[in-house]
Amino acid sequence: MMIPFVSCPLYLKQLYDYCLREERMKNLPGRSNKNRRYTLKYGCRAAFCCVIMAAGVVLLMAQSGRITAKDQRATQAITEAITALGGEKNIDGIRSLILTGTSQLAGNPIRQEVELRILLPDSFLWINTSNIMGNKMVRYNGASKGELLNASFMGAERIPSITADSLDAQLNRFANLLMGALLKSGPIAPLTLSSTAGASNRFSIEKATGLLGEIEFDPQGKYPLLISYKDVVQLPPQMPKNPRKKMTITDLSPGTSVVDAVVRFKDRASIDGVMFPRTIVTESQGDIREFRFGNIQINPNLTLKDFEIPE
């Protein structure tokens, strides 16, 4: 049985009083050895339950992935945002998500169908489907069980997929997505928010290895409004230096570059008591891509098999 957080101090005090009372009673004249054994037996059980309870609290805190605050103003911003998003109970009750909709690059008429699967704390998968010259192309990107997921298909045939993504880069993007949508720290916890000089609603996001980026809250709605961070992106493939050499996928492997990225969260709507953004806009290297989610499912029946790339 899991004991609610609010009752933990009371429960510990009662346990302490019980053990103290039994310790005193066992020294009274006439107290039998049987009773002492009874006290020892159930006192140990009570202590064991206390350990189990403490472990349960730690596990729940780890599952919640809550962002911590470094100062009072950051604490207030986090508290207000959690309340605006629907409260701790509703947010921490989310274990899985499926978001489906469309994706479109600014200035490009081609619209893709997208599906985002999430199984907290660290499994996620983007599925992008588009039509190229009458052929159906499907791309998979994500991570699960500590492994990078990346594959492309043209029709039923698997085609070479050039990518410079690393597992760390994918998890970093996923963490930023969770922060903007649910104010969770996700798979790269712990993260800490601290005040930024001269800004009332913008805060620095820090992790143990250094600065991660910034988060901005809506002054009116109190929701996370945007995340800015450093992203690792792939550069365009380089042509072989020897023009006579037959090109291979290895020759076309791109390099990487660290760039500034911004993710904006818009059009919040209440889904099962949680205010989700139905529109997410990403900006990187001058490219702007808009994701619109028409359907958002909370706690669908997802398993790790749903994050395996089909053969």
pLDDT tens for residues 107-132? Answer: 888 889 999 999 999 999 999 999 88
Q: What is the DSSP letter of 309?
A: P
pLDDT value at residue 257:
80
The angle at the Cα of 226, spanning 79 to 190, to the nearest 5 degrees, equals 55
CA-based torsion, 201, 207, 210, 213: positive or negative: negative
State whether residue 70 is helix, strand or coil.
Answer: coil
pLDDT of residue 99 exceeding 60:
yes
Share the mean pLDDT of the chain: 79
At residue 58 the predicted structure's pLDDT band, cuts being 50, 70 and 90, is very low
Q: How many residues does the chain have?
A: 311
Nearest Cα to Cα of residue 259 among 193, 164, 186, 183: 164
Residue 236's pLDDT band (cuts 50, 70, 90): low
The CA angle 4-6-11, to the nearest 5 degrees, is 80
**284, two tokens:** 């990187």
The tokens 């997208």 sit on which residue? 114
Q: How many angstroms from the chain centroid is the CA of residue 283?
A: 20
- Give the lowest-confidence range in 37-41, 49-53, 63-67, 243-247: 49-53
pLDDT band at 223 (very low <50, low <70, confident <90, very high): very high
Does the pLDDT of residue 252 top 80, yes or no? Answer: no
Residue with the bigger pLDDT between 39 and 68: it is 68
Q: What is the pLDDT of residue 181?
A: 95
Average pLDDT of span 199-210 = 87
